[in-house]
Amino acid sequence: MSRPKIAILGAGYGGIMTATRLTKELGMNEAEITLVNKHNYHYQTTWLHEPAAGTLHHDRTRMSIKDVIDTNRINFVQDTVVSIDDANKTVKLENGELTYDYLVIGLGFESETFGIPGVKDYAFNIRSVDTVRKIKEHIEYQFASYNNEDNPSEGMLNIVVAGAGFTGIEFIGEMADRIPELCADFDVPREKVRLICAEAAPTVLPGFDEELVEYAVNLLERKGVEFMLGTPIKEVTEDSVILEEEEIKADTIVWTTGIRGNSIVENSGFETMRGRIKVESDLRAPGKDHVFIVGDCALIINEEINRPYPPTAQIAIQQSFTVARNLKTLINNGKLEAFVPEIKGTVASLGKGEAIGKVGNKKLYGATASAMKKIIDNRYLYLLGGIPLVVKKGKLKLF
């Protein structure tokens, strides 16, 4: 008797945790599990603002997939997904093809450019290990070049972060810490450097508690960050961002205005909203009884406020538990469970030893919030790889 084939596309939070959970839910002979990923490593998307700023080595944010999955149970294929042909239950890869009975799509996000000219060509993204180490090295090159110029260009050391959402603010917090170090290392006066946050909305961190937001803005301003709120960007050029009424010269522009689902999903014929599939309550794609979506490609509405849940690691991880159980049920012909997100808390880091957050109804600031952020990060490592992974990759210095 041949075992049903489960293919998991993407080894981000949702994908790798689904794979791991499946080995716990399913018996050895219940299914053949294949995990496909572009890289041979899994990385912590929610930590990427740190290697982007250069405050943490990128290796600290990634781990070999073979080290965290059970390779006796899961067949790992390192390849890039090109398209999904669900009619024929086939995935086209760059170097091959894969057939499946059940599919889990966890292909992650792309940066949302809103069609603004120049973003794709000139702005950096905080999306992967590859994109963030490029940001770090670019910024260091700018600093290293400065004293070689007789007349440095106006924007040479200016960094504009487009977007004051979670990723933007966390990156700014790290960068504000990093700039004085870069100035010392490369003999650059601090006043030659600008760190600007340009946001179209009138506030930072939409949805966050107002008091916490005020704390964050004050703290970051004290660290030298300039906020330009209610300031939509019209265009990005090689060396500037163009606003409604002015142009800011900047050789480093980091784009963090939001995300959309991986375009492979849309291009494969799934119906999407900003690249995300509005999933059924059991996390299946509408009309597809054998296709589950996890993570940033899944759109779930928060009925209380009639708006989508933000695409977070927390939700992706919770989804993986549901998907693994539902796959087990599906294979055994039972009734699938509905996914109910449980928002345990949200903490945004603001650089070394500083953060803001809410856990339950409790507001957290400063060192306490920062420690809580690290506990959350370590908790995920524990779920994925147990104590050994926490020891190896965890943030063990809480204060």
Active site residues: 170
What are the distances in angstroms from CA 224 to CA 132, 158, 172, 192? 22, 12, 10, 12
List, in order, residues 6 or more apart from 49 with CB less than 8 Å away. 126, 132, 167, 170, 171, 173, 174, 349
Tokens at 302, concatenated: 């928060």
> From the list 83, 144, 181, 271, which residue makes contact with its own copies (rule: CB under 8 A)?
144
x/- binding map, residues 15-44, to its own copies, per CB under 8 A?
A: ------------------------x-----
Please state, in angstroms and rounded to a whole number, the distance separating the CA atoms of residues 248 and 245: 10
Count of residues in contact with its own copies, rule CB under 8 A: 19
Q: Tell me: does residue 145 bind its own copies (CB under 8 A).
A: yes
Q: Please, which residue, 138 or 278, has the CB nearer to its own copies?
A: 138
Q: Tell me: does residue 361 bind its own copies (CB under 8 A).
A: no
Q: Strands 362-365, 252-255: parallel, antiparallel or unpaired by DSSP?
A: unpaired
Q: Tell me: does residue 130 bind its own copies (CB under 8 A).
A: yes
The stretch among 184-192, 194-202, 257-265, 304-312 that binds its own copies (CB under 8 A) is: 184-192
Tokens at 234, concatenated: 């019209």
List, in order, residues 6 or more apart from 69 with CB less than 8 Å away. 16, 19, 20, 23, 35, 76
- Characterise 52 by phi-psi region: left (phi > 0), alpha (psi -120 to 50), beta (else): alpha
x/- binding map, residues 211-250, to its own copies, per CB under 8 A?
A: ----------------------------------------
List, in order, residues 6 or more apart from 236 with CB less than 8 Å away. 116, 117, 118, 119, 121, 122, 123, 162, 242, 253, 255
Q: Which is nearest to 27 in space by CA: 66, 73, 65?
A: 73
Taking the complex as a whole, the smallest distance from the CB of residue 188 to its own copies amounts, in Å, to: 11
Please state, in angstroms and rounded to a whole number, the distance separating the CA atoms of residues 387 and 394: 9
Q: Please, which residue, 186 or 309, has the CB nearer to its own copies?
A: 186
> From the list 109, 122, 143, 166, which residue makes contact with its own copies (rule: CB under 8 A)?
143
Q: Tell me: does residue 338 bind its own copies (CB under 8 A).
A: no
Site for its own copies, residues 42 to 61, rule: CB under 8 A: 59
> From the list 148, 151, 306, 361, which residue makes contact with its own copies (rule: CB under 8 A)?
148
Q: Tell me: does residue 92 bind its own copies (CB under 8 A).
A: no
The stretch among 127-135, 161-169, 372-380, 382-390 that binds its own copies (CB under 8 A) is: 127-135
Please state, in angstroms and rounded to a whole number, the distance separating the CA atoms of residues 396 and 399: 9
Please state, in angstroms and rounded to a whole number, the distance separating the CA atoms of residues 244 and 247: 8
The stretch among 106-114, 140-148, 318-326, 349-357 that binds its own copies (CB under 8 A) is: 140-148
The stretch among 42-50, 144-152, 159-167, 276-284 that binds its own copies (CB under 8 A) is: 144-152
Q: Please, which residue, 72 or 151, has the CB nearer to its own copies?
A: 151
Taking the complex as a whole, the smallest distance from the CB of residue 139 to its own copies amounts, in Å, to: 9
Q: Tell me: does residue 80 bind its own copies (CB under 8 A).
A: no
Please state, in angstroms and rounded to a whole number, the distance separating the CA atoms of residues 37 and 85: 18
Q: Which is nearest to 134 in space by CA: 60, 45, 54?
A: 54
Q: Please, which residue, 30 or 140, has the CB nearer to its own copies?
A: 140
The stretch among 105-113, 125-133, 289-297, 334-342 that binds its own copies (CB under 8 A) is: 125-133
> From the list 134, 274, 288, 363, which residue makes contact with its own copies (rule: CB under 8 A)?
134
Please state, in angstroms and rounded to a whole number, the distance separating the CA atoms of residues 113 and 24: 39
Any idea of the CA torsion for 80, 118, 180, 355, to the nearest 10 degrees?
-60
Q: Tell me: does residue 133 bind its own copies (CB under 8 A).
A: yes
Taking the complex as a whole, the smallest distance from the CB of residue 146 to its own copies amounts, in Å, to: 9
Q: Tell me: does residue 186 bind its own copies (CB under 8 A).
A: yes
* Amino acid at residue number 111: S
Beta-carbon count within 10 A of 388 CB: 12
Enumerate long-range contacts of 284-288, CB under 8 Å, 24 or more apart.
284/326, 284/336, 285/105, 288/86
> From the list 141, 192, 206, 269, which residue makes contact with its own copies (rule: CB under 8 A)?
141
Positions that interact with its own copies (CB under 8 A): 39, 59, 130-131, 133-134, 136-138, 140-141, 143-145, 147-148, 185-187
